[in-house]
Chain A
Amino acid sequence: MKDNKILNYLYDMYFGMIYEMVSKNNGNQADARDVLQEAIILTYKKIRNGSFELTTTFTSYFFSVCWNIWMRELRNRKTEINNLMEYHYLEQAADAGIIREFEQQQKYRIYQDHFRRLGRECQKLLKLFLNKYPLKDIARMMGHKSEKAAKKKKYKCKERLVQSIKNDQRFEDYHGRK
């Protein structure tokens, strides 16, 4: 999705509705923004893996995805819900699996957020490792003296990432629940 036109279009079309729905249920603008972002990513992933199937209008589908995401978030926060019934009709509009996908996406998001906070060198090193490059090649590409040095560096980067993830409140929220 190289073009911002689609994102701008989605923003113009749906952000107002999402914000209205979220703000009526103890949310704010930042929450609405989060919901929109996650809904776009969920939809994109479904299209990408070929499981996107539209049985209603896209608006109904997309809005119900947003609604389900926000319901999930409210459940996490254990906040009071005032206008839930108003959006009851949206319950079935999105497919039931969307929440499971959303939850997985949230986990992925935590990994990705913390990965992005690592230094460029660590990111590059871990990427190479994840892409199963041999340590010998990694050491050469990263300018390390030896495979051992590369392995040591990789270990440090990984530990930094894991520690950072474990310190995340969201990680605490998910940890042990499922």
Chain B
Amino acid sequence: MEENKNERNWRYLEDLDCRGQLSGASQAGDAPVWGEGIDLSGEMAEALRDDDVMSLRRQISEVLDRRAADGSGIWDPSWRRVAMVAGMAFLLIFGTMVYMVRPPMEGSDLFSRYYTSYPALASVRSGGEDPTPLHRAFSYYEAGKWDAASKHFSLAVGENASNQVGWFYLGLTRLEMDRPLQALGCFNWVASSNDPLLRDQASWYSALALIKAGHRDRAKDRLDWMIEKRMWPTARARGLIKQID
């Protein structure tokens, strides 16, 4: 194919030549053979007398030299191609490095970054001499004994199903125990209640539970809803949405 193309190009040049456009003198059979009897007359004399052209040629050379030297010359197309490839390679390497240094956060990473333990409620920390399951649960909660805390929070909400505090902390202990879907049920219960005490917090932790469970889209919806309702951790919700995106 390339060969044909080249042949075609040559035919084209031959055609130009026939028409005298490439070598005008070639058809003049009586033209003198150039170079024969080279002497200080005729063409040579004319050429050497042409001081204008000789100085112009020198002047052009100087300008071209200077332009090439000061770097204001045109960029070599081959270098342009090299630079483009190098640029793309750089972007690829840079992107990979960024990805390696800061890869899109996994759900568990996002959770770890945004999750903070919620302190026990001071009003129910101490149960005195006859502690209720809720009092005991908080003792275990503060001690980080999540199994025991979970068990006693379950007892507390079993005794009183409308105990929003019990449900909320049960959710937190289950999050600590890496049971996000169970935690989600608890937080949803609190968030949907009419009690405003822990509603915002429950919504926030429910979003975190969704992230930990791998439901990023649902978490994002939850956070959007919180922002719309101007709930408590709005700034953090916005930050978390950016990370999810």
- A residues whose Cβ falls under 8 Å from a Cβ of B: 1, 4, 7-8, 11, 15-16, 19-20, 23, 29, 32-33, 36-37, 40-41, 44-45, 48, 68, 71-72, 74-75, 80-82, 84-85, 88, 91, 96-97, 99-100, 103-104, 107-109, 111-112, 115-116, 126-127, 129-131, 158, 162, 165-166, 171, 174-178
Docked-complex contact B38 and A162, CB < 8 angstroms: yes
Docked-complex contact B54 and A7, CB < 8 angstroms: no
- B residues whose Cβ falls under 8 Å from a Cβ of A: 5-6, 8-10, 12-13, 16-17, 19-26, 28, 31, 33-35, 38-40, 43-50, 52-54, 56-61, 63-64, 67-68, 73-74, 76-78
Docked-complex contact B24 and A36, CB < 8 angstroms: no
The residue that B24 contacts in the complex, of A81, A99, A115, A171, with Cβ under 8 A, is A99
Q: Which 7 A-B pairs have the closest CB atoms?
A: A100-B24, A108-B47, A175-B35, A111-B47, A178-B25, A81-B9, A7-B63
Bound CA–CA A96/B21 (angstroms) = 6
Bound CA–CA A16/B39 (angstroms) = 40
A-B contact count (CB 8 A): 151
Docked-complex contact B48 and A171, CB < 8 angstroms: no
Bound CA–CA A92/B53 (angstroms) = 26
Docked-complex contact B61 and A171, CB < 8 angstroms: no
Bound CA–CA A129/B49 (angstroms) = 10
Docked-complex contact A107 and B60, CB < 8 angstroms: no
